[in-house]
Structure 1
Amino acid sequence: MMMVRSAYDKKKDDIHFEYWQRCRYLPEDKLIALLDHDNFKLSLEAAASLQLRGGSKIIRLAQMDSFSNRYKRRALAAFILGQIKLNTKEEKISLKILYDLALNDQSAIVRSYAVSSFGHRCEKAKKKYADTLLSLAQSTVLDKSVMVRVSTAFALSVFKNRASIPLLIKLLKDTHSEVKNWAAFAVNINNYDTPEICNCFVLLLDEKNFEARFEAIIGLAKRQDKRVTQILIHELSQERIYDEMVEVTAYLGDVSLLPTLYQVKDKFGTFKELNTSIKVLEHLKSKL
């Protein structure tokens, strides 16, 4: 009943751990040298280690690399500037760099990292730069790159501001499923609720991308939109079910789900989310 990781995801995690082990004890100069490695994922792990260690030397390096003629170094620079510890002056300079990269860099991967990093900086500053991020997102929401639009949806997830809703609705209507998935996540994590959002979620119920469909199911149930009832019945009748889908039946409050929940109990036994949902729906039924 928990999310099951695919063999592909496990392999990615194993490779990530291998690169982390390789970088964690390397001296700073060796990590900097790895930024030019042919394997970008290894370079990214080196950048993550440098970001964590921080310091004025690494900050200056990242700021200078933002103007490199090599797009990979610009992308890694944008990544480092996203979460490294900065003083007020360094942050002001870095935010300008990230903003310019996000809007103007010719490389989609650089623009993508710059948008994500701007979101991280906004989050760290406790929404101080929210208005600037919203201004940036007005442009990046229309970027021709899927990666940039995904990063835009992520960036809009890091703080709650209802001014984000029109932008997220555009992303929910995107042509690419991964963009829609992250937009739905941003909507759900911030508990935005409008009729248009619910209508977008209903359209996502037909998505082939499971993650996007999952976000839509959870979102509609929490917003007590009964258009998701039959989808929930279908999902909870499968051989593999998810705790979150059981849990949100209580939010939905549709007593027609009780027979399905009883079947889940017979099939998998009792567990916390199931017990709670059955109790809530039985209580609602008793009042009818």
Structure 2
Amino acid sequence: MSRPGQGEDGSTEELIQMALEGDEDDERAWDAIRTLHRRGTREVLDAALQLLGASSAKERGRGADILGQLGTGSRVFRAERGEALMDLLRREREPRVLLSAGVALGQMVEPRALAELIGLASHPAAEARYGAAHGLAVLDAPDAVEALIQLSSDEDRDVRDWATFGLGTLREAIDTPRLRDALAARLGDEDSEIVGEALVGLATRQDPRAVEAVRAALRGDTVRVYALEAAAALGDPSFHPLLLAIRDAGGIANDYFLHVLEEVISQFEQG
């Protein structure tokens, strides 16, 4: 049970103070932010807007963190929140604050921020570009896709990862040669998660370059769920014996992996 002044029982001012404690990933701080999200009141909005004008970068960042999901999925104060976050992007210099603003705009799916987010995509700081990737990955606009294509080859691992996820999965309905080529380029990435995101994106689009890559992934020492999902999307019969071999080999695997494996095998056997 929450004590007075904490959690669901705390005042907006008390929750704001909790949100400013600890480091950026402090769980107690994020509990307070999530409570503010659920409240979604004018009082919370005004408090977050005030934070955006603070001299402290941490306060400005927390203001953006609060605005992004204010109302927890509802559209409360949408216009005001979007305008405030776009204004923050135009004037902010601190990369960590720009990250929070980009993520918040992505959570809002704010198409009005397209120009600001495209500008952010070329920022010299990786944190800022990561924020741009979040904001752009949910926008249905050719210019957003083009910016994500550029970010998918970024020198920073996290930027590449989110941009590749955005192209491969979040923008699944878009299918162009240039987008496919960007995903194919990531099949050689040094990071296995990025390779997996690219593989699923190509397989979903039935790109033939994914077939041999899936075979190789299913034969690998460590098979990831990405490879299973890509195999299911392509439906190539040559994958079936490889999937059976994975199941028969046993070994250490979590329940989710085994569940997906059985579902994919069943798909092949029913097809």
What TM-score do the two structures reach when normalised by structure 2? 0.81
1:49 aligns with 2:35: yes
Query: Taking structure 1 as reference, are residues 174 and 162 closer, same or farther at Cα in structure 2, changes over 3 Å only?
Result: same
Q: Judging changes above 3 Å, is the alpha-carbon distance between structure 1 residues 257 and 37 closer, same or farther for their aligned structure 2 residues?
A: closer
1:102·1:112 contact (CA, 8 Å) conserved in 2?
Answer: no
Q: CA–CA distance in 1 between the matches of 2:55 and 2:135?
A: 26
Secondary structure of 1:205's aligned partner? helix
User: Which stretches in structure 2 are left out of the alignment for 5+ residues?
Assistant: 251-257
- Counterpart residue type for residue 176 of structure 2: T
Q: Which residue of 1 aligns with 2:267?
A: 276
Conserved 8 A contact 1:171-1:183? yes
State the 1:266 CA deviation: 3.1
Partner of 2:17: 33
Out of 95, 107, 116, which is 1:136 matched to? 116
Alignment partners' CA distance in 2, 1:219 and 1:91 = 31
- What amino acid sits opposite 1:275 in the alignment? S
Per-residue deviation at 1:244?
4.3
241-250 vs 214-223, which deviates more?
Answer: 241-250
Q: Does 1:58 align with 2:44?
A: yes
Q: Which residue of 1 aligns with 2:151?
A: 171
The equivalent residue for 1:24 is 7
Q: What's the counterpart of residue 211 of structure 1?
A: 193
Following TM superposition, the consecutive aligned residue runs of length 4 or more in structure 1 with deviations greater than 6 angstroms are 86-89
Q: Could you say what secondary structure the match of 1:170 adopts?
A: helix
Aligned counterpart, 2:254: none
Number of residues of Structure 1 aligned to a counterpart in Structure 2: 252
Query: Cα 1:115–1:250, aligned 2, differ >3 Å: closer, same or farther?
Result: closer
Give the equivalent residue in structure 2 for 1:8: none
Letter in 2 for 1:99: M
1:37–1:259 distance in 2 versus 1, CA, 3 Å: closer
Which stretch shows the higher mean deviation, 35-44 or 227-236?
Answer: 35-44
Corresponding position: 1:195 with 2:177: yes
Shift of 1:234: 2.4
Q: More deviation in 174-183 or 71-80?
A: 174-183
Matches of 2:141 and 2:191 in 1, distance apart? 27
1:63 CA drift (Å)? 0.8
* Alignment partners' CA distance in 1, 2:228 and 2:23: 42
Structure 1 pair 197–278 and aligned structure 2 pair: CA distance change class (3 A): farther
**Which residue, out of 239, 242, 248, partners 1:260?**
242
* Residue 169 (structure 1) shift: 1.0
Higher relative contact order (CA 8 A, sep 6+): 1
Q: Which residue of 2 is the match for residue 285 of structure 1?
A: none
Normalised by the size of structure 1, how large is the TM-score?
0.77
- Residue 9 of structure 1 corresponds to none
Cα pair distance change 1:237/1:53, threshold 3 Å: same
| Residue 90 to residue 222, structure 1, CA distance change in 2 (3 Å) | closer
Deviation at 1:108, TM superposition (A): 0.8
Aligned-CA RMSD value: 2.8
2:202 aligned partner, one-letter code: L
Structure 1 position 239, deviation (Å): 4.7
| 1:69 to partner: Cα distance | 0.4
